[in-house]
Structures are given as structure tokens and as C-alpha cells.
Amino acid sequence: MSEIRPPQPAADPPARANLSPIQQAYSKYVGHAVGCQVCRSVDGEPCTEGEVLWEAYRQLRRGRQAPARF
């Protein structure tokens, strides 16, 4: 009489595999920046790791997209 239903999946699997390299690089930077006190400090020294991640993201964007100007 009573059917045993298969359990629902608890949560969607991480969608990282579906992200483009640009999105992965961006989420990597954001993931670092939100937890990094140096990145969040306004008048502190620039964060080397944050800059590296941001530069990687920018270069990916530059390689993918045509420049908006000219």
C-alpha cells in the first residue's frame, strides 16, 4: 500500500562545471575577496593574491571579448 519514495536530492550539485573559465576566475576572486581582510581594507596595502586573481580574470575577459572601445 505504501510506496517507498526515493529520497530527494538534498541540494543541487555545484554548478562549477558549467561555469565558463571567466566565471570561474571571477568567482575565485570574489571567494577570496569576501574572506580576505586585506582586500576588504580600504586604506590598507593592496592584496597581492587578490590582485593576481583579479588580473587573471581581466586577462580572460580580454582574451574572450573584443575591446569595447574603438
Where along the sequence are the contacts to Zn ion (CB under 5 A)? 36, 38-39, 47, 50
**For residues 33 and 50, is the Cβ–Cβ distance under 8 A?**
yes
Minimum gap (Å) between residue 38 Cβ and Zn ion: 5
CB of 51 or CB of 64, closer to Zn ion? 51
Minimum gap (Å) between residue 17 Cβ and Zn ion: 26
Residue for cell digits 573559465? 21
What does the angle CA 52 – CA 59 – CA 39 come to, to the nearest 5 degrees?
Answer: 30
Minimum gap (Å) between residue 49 Cβ and Zn ion: 5
CB of 40 or CB of 64, closer to Zn ion? 40
Helix-helix angle 21-35:48-64, to 10 degrees: 160
